[in-house]
Amino acid sequence: MNGIAGGLGGSSPPSRQSIAGSEGYGGVDNPPVSGGSRGVVPPDQHSVAVITLADVPPVELAGGSWSRVLVAEQTVGGNVSALGYSVFKPGTSTADLSHSVEELAYIVSGSGVIRLETGDVPVTAGQALYVPARLWHTVLNPGAEDLVMVFSFPSSGYPPTERRDPASTERRDPASTERRDPASTERRDPASTERREPAR
């Protein structure tokens, strides 16, 4: 589904708010808040990083779709998991993807299809997804409204990901991926700001 492994496309990291632990915090007193450092501040066990959609430039996808990795090494520093947000416009699809690690996703709104080599999996708002590592998958939005999802990886940013043309995702023998030409796949940093084939 989506994420990032290089720069996020901006010249400076997004601002970070820290909510420090203090006596009385628990909903009764307002906790002290600091932020606006515009720098990467390593998290510690007594602070919370707050990153908004506006803090991270979008990775532009085909058809007006976009994705942002909000929690990543570039925005938080010291994290071991990544969290992102994607919007797939009606009638769009991603490249066929295979991540080096598992992916978790939650469908916030809309509905769509996760196309696997063995068949299509319909998804809709309110559902959580588990995508095993190295499973080839494509996100399609054949509906009339945006398909919005939150995704996460157990890595500090978008994991190494292989991509291939979505036209090659027609149902086929899963063993056929073993015989594909390795030169036909590419590894690309989805955080780069260049226009490219859809990715999540």
Supply the DSSP string of 163-197, one letter for each residue.
Answer: EE-GGGGSS--GGGGGGS-GGG-EE--TTS-S--S
**Cα–Cα dist 168/181, whole Å:** 13
3-state helix, strand, coil in the chain (%, to 5): 10, 35, 55
Q: What domains can be seen in the chain, in order of their start residue?
A: 18-180 (2.60.120.10)
Mean pLDDT on 88-109: 97
Determine which of 42-51, 70-79, 118-127, 150-159 has the lowest per-residue pLDDT on average: 42-51
pLDDT of residue 165: 85
Q: State residue 166's pLDDT score.
A: 72
Helix, strand counts (H, E) of the chain:
0, 15
> Which tokens sit at 34?
């600091």
Contact 36, 13 (CB under 8 A): no
**What secondary structure does DSSP assign to 28-45, as a single string?**
TSPPPEE----S-----T
> Which pTM was predicted?
0.66
